[in-house]
Structure 1
């Protein structure tokens, strides 16, 4: 799956890694719902770092459609809330 981190670029992440990413996404959603801003910031950073670690960066000139778009590391609670689907940021 092609994942875009806003402001950074795209990475190809193998489907087998989405269980780990979904665990972090579930934590992020719970922290957002409870208003835990510190936990939200920490978990968003962990989620983005996991995508960077598990994904293979695409060249800057690649024109692949992103199947998943994640907020950048500086995104706030309100900005991320607008990006949420029923399952959080990551479907599944």
Structure 2
């Protein structure tokens, strides 16, 4: 799965990591619902760090379409809420069972 982190590029992340990314996505949703800025910053930072850790960066000149787009680390709570409205239920899609 190819994930774009806005302003940072694309990362190819294997399906084996999606469960962990979903857990971090759930934590981000909880932080958004609480409106707690510190909790939100920590949760967003953890999610983005995991994508970069588990993912392989694609070359800057790559023209691969992104399967999903994640906000950058500086995104506001309102910007992420708006992105979630566009995406649906969370930023990371669930793993089919």
- Normalising by structure 1, what TM-score? 0.97
Displacement, 1:20?
A: 0.4
Is residue 2:73 matched to residue 1:73? yes
For 1:5 and 1:14, the matched residues in 2 are separated by: 16
Report the TM-score when normalising by structure 2: 0.92
List structure 1 runs of 4+ shifted beyond 6 angstroms.
none
Instruction: Please give the per-residue CA displacement for 1:44-81, whole angstroms capped at 9, x wherever unaligned.
Output: 00100000000000000100000010000000000000
Tell me, in whole angstroms, the C-alpha distance in 1 between the residues paired with 2:88 and 2:66.
19
Matches within 5 A, 1:1-92: 1-84=1-84, 85-92=87-94
- Segments of 5+ residues of structure 1 without an aligned counterpart are none
Runs (5+) with no aligned partner, structure 2: none
Number of aligned residues: 92
For 2:57 and 2:27, how far apart are their aligned partners in 1? 25
Displacement, 1:86? 3.3
